[in-house]
Each structure stands twice: as C-alpha cells, then as structure tokens.
Amino acid sequence: MSGAETMSVVIWHNPKCGTSRNALAMIRATGVEPEVLHYLDTPPDSAALAAAAQAVGGARALLRTKGTPADEMGLDNADDATILAAMVEHPILINRPVVITPRGIVLARPSERVLEVLEARPPSDFRKEDGAAVAG
C-alpha cells in the first residue's frame, strides 16, 4: 500500500460550506477516505480544539466570526482560553475545515491548504466545485 492509502486523515467538516466540501473532495481524490467529523453535531473536545488552535496560530485564528455570534459574545478582545471555551459551547464559532494528519494540522482556507498536510496530490485534472483547477 502507498502512503496515500494508509495515511490517517481527519477533517472537521461542514457540508454546507463550499471550502469544506472542496477540501474533502481533494482528500478523497488522493485515495484517502478521511474520518469526517461533522463538528457542528459532534464538536471536538477542548484538548483537540487547543491542539488545532496552537497549530494554526492561536484560538483567534481558529475563530469564525462571519455568520456567528462571536461579536455579540465579546470575543473580539477575549483571550485564547475564553475563545476556546466558547467554541466548546458553540461549535459554530469554529472555523472550517480543519484537517489533521500525521504531517500536521491546517485550517484549509483556502481549500488548497489541505495539500500542505497530505502525502499525495489529487490527479492533475482535479477541479473544485466552481471548476477551478487545483495546482498540486
């Protein structure tokens, strides 16, 4: 088996998000079937959130403000511990998609960032939902 077939990949996924769908499709196009965590239904625990935040540059980098109550909750000036606690209680505050592999953790925004932590690349003819080619 190649590394692409055996690599363990987890994606924190929101099927309503085009970026998340594109990242998931790129992972699958490499021959990997990831563990898909629908984080709005089954949120990651505080330890997983803390690890992801550390990897992507802090809790603020992992915080989604668009379409969330982040501003109303006063998270704009909050420290990491407060932001992470709010994410545990309100998973809508977690930006997505987060992709976790043995090679690292990325917030795959844009979706092509997923390639940073995958061992293989999608086929050269792979296209995102909007038809855009992915340079791999």
Catalytic residue among 3, 4, 10, 17: 17
**Catalytic site includes residue 56:** no
Q: How far is CA 8 from the centre of its chain?
A: 15
Using alpha carbons, select from 83, 76, 78 the residue that is nearest to residue 56.
83
The dihedrals phi and psi of 16, each to the nearest 5 degrees, come to -85, -5
Structural tokens at position 68? 């969330």
Peptide bond before residue 122 is cis, with ω within 30 degrees of 0: no
Query: Is the CB of residue 119 less than 8 Å from the CB of residue 7?
Result: yes
**Distance separating alpha carbons of residues 30 and 110, to the nearest angstrom:** 18
Annotated catalytic sites, by residue? 17
